[in-house]
Amino acid sequence: MFRRVVRASKFRHVFGQALKNDQCYDDIRVSRVTWDSSFCAVNPKFVAIIIEASGGGAFLVLPLLKTGRIDKAYPTVCGHTGPVLDIDWCPHNDHVIASGSEDCTVMVWQIPENGLVTPLAEPVVVLEGHSKRVGIVTWHPTARNVLMSAGCDNLIIIWNVGTGEAMIQLEDMHPDVIFSACWSRNGGLICTACKDKKIRVIDPRKEKIVAEKDKAHDGARPMRAIFLADGNIFTTGFSRMSERQLALWNPKSMEEPISVHELDTSNGVLLPFYDADTNVVYLCGKGDSSIRYFEITDEAPFVHYLNTFSSKEPQRGMGYMPKRGLDVNKCEIARFYKLHERKCEPIIMTVPRKSDLFQDDLYPDTAGPDCAIEAEDWFDGKNGEPILISLKNGYVPGKNRDLKVNTSPELLREVKSLRDLVTLQDRRIAKLEDQISKVAI
């Protein structure tokens, strides 16, 4: 357990508060799908929630200010033919969202400036390449139009959304279901947690595993793994005795964890949300009624327990607001959107301060909405660090840009004919190798 030692930290007295009923989103039928995703995605303009839908999969997209009771006839994003399992807002365009579904497809949607007026059934682009349901979708943090998806076919695909192509397919790396996949801060690496109890660090462009750890957590229940700003990896999982654990790893030396802690014996999967600017990790357990937060530092024990926000109702899922969507005048350092069975409740975390001045120690420059590099540059091997912005005068959203997808019929035909040619050549090579082996015998 954590030693309760009084330690100086500006986040020790973080104050969590659930907003009043009139500031919640009420009468929403939150999805009942048995999948361990957060079911909610938030950005400075919209909150998106995966909901129960007859005859396919759907999710709600609500402007942040549209609180109160949501009409049953409110338009949804409803193009999938199976339940939606995961959604993720594009970090470089607040009107673009990706969704993965049981229908084996990934779809990318453009949300109108003021939200939906009619149901949205036509995505900007449909990404087809998985043979089983797609449970994870996550955008590249610094490159425009690069999207990663992971499916129950144990396959990771990295897409160029601007052309609708599957550029990289990471096959034969995971023998079982992928529980989580996360980009590093500059998007040069990804780390994954798999049902085979291994944590893997992968260089996707070289298509090779650069580090892995077997039995990062001994328990059979799902793990989660995320990259921290310094390149270390933070994981949550279960011990052999089904106690929930968290651990910190150095990917350059993964024999032993830097730090490992046991929390409790609850069976809900811990979803980690990370603030790269302040090095605070928030843990939200599915089915829990609390949010725990920890500060990660360079001094032992490296992961320092800060506090717990508790409420009465268990959470079905959780959305986490990017830093640029917070109210700096109220010293708000995090905002969560907690899903109940029938509503979404915002929870704000603030650090009490007497001064009304801008608190620059709470708000170092944070990742802004501009991308550092284009998709083509990233696929060519370049990396780009996040472009930082100051929140001193608050965040002012930029002009809405439409997502352009260049999938002309001629281009797609050319791609298909090239792929067919490659397949034909592969078959010929295999046939020749077979003949050679028979001659050798």
Say yes or no to pLDDT of 183 above 60: yes
Residue 424 has a pLDDT of 62
Report the pLDDT averaged over residues 161-188.
95
Residue 80 has a pLDDT of 95
What is the C-alpha separation between 40 and 50, in angstroms, rounded?
6
CB atoms under 10 Å from CB of 85, counted, come to: 26
Q: What percent of the chain has pLDDT over 90?
A: 77
Peptide bond into 301 cis (omega under 30): yes
The reported pTM is: 0.88
Report the pLDDT averaged over residues 212-216.
94
Residue 120 has a pLDDT of 95
Residue 432 has a pLDDT of 72
Report the pLDDT averaged over residues 166-194.
96
Find the helix or strand (DSSP H, E) in which 147 lies. strand 146-151
15-407 CATH: 2.130.10.10
Find the helix or strand (DSSP H, E) in which 110 lies. strand 105-110
For residue 7, give both structure tokens: 């330690």
Going by pLDDT thresholds of 50, 70 and 90, the confidence category of residue 326 is: very high
Query: From the CA atom positions of the chain, what is the Rg in Å?
Result: 22
Residue 258 has a pLDDT of 95
Going by pLDDT thresholds of 50, 70 and 90, the confidence category of residue 2 is: low
Q: What percent of the chain has pLDDT over 70?
A: 91
pLDDT digits (tens, 9 = 90+) for 374-429: 999 999 999 999 999 999 988 777 666 677 777 554 555 554 555 556 556 666 77
pLDDT digits (tens, 9 = 90+) for 124-139: 999 999 999 999 999 9
| CA end-to-end distance (rounded Å), the chain | 63
User: What is the strand order of the sheet 96-101 is part of?
Assistant: 84-89, 96-101, 105-110, 125-128
Report the pLDDT averaged over residues 338-352.
95
Higher pLDDT, 396 or 193: 193
Report the pLDDT averaged over residues 64-81.
94
Cβ proximity of 141 and 386 under 8 Å: yes
Say yes or no to pLDDT of 354 above 80: yes
What is the C-alpha separation between 8 and 279, in angstroms, rounded?
15
Please report the DSSP string for 51-82 in residue order: E--TTSEEEEEEETT--EEPPTT---EEEESS
**Average of per-residue pLDDT values in the chain:** 90
**How big is the CA angle at 89 (ends 322 and 55), to the nearest 5 degrees?**
135
What is the C-alpha separation between 31 and 305, in angstroms, rounded?
32
pLDDT digits (tens, 9 = 90+) for 231-279: 999 999 999 998 999 999 999 999 999 999 999 888 889 999 999 999 9
Say yes or no to pLDDT of 12 above 90: no
For residue 119, give both structure tokens: 């149901």
Say yes or no to pLDDT of 158 above 70: yes
Residue 123 has a pLDDT of 96
Residue 407 has a pLDDT of 58
Find the helix or strand (DSSP H, E) in which 25 lies. strand 25-26
Say yes or no to pLDDT of 50 above 60: yes
Residue 357 has a pLDDT of 87
pLDDT digits (tens, 9 = 90+) for 355-366: 888 898 899 999
Please report the DSSP string for 373-425 in residue order: B-HHHHHTT---PPPEE--TT--------PPP----HHHHHHHHHHHHHHHHH
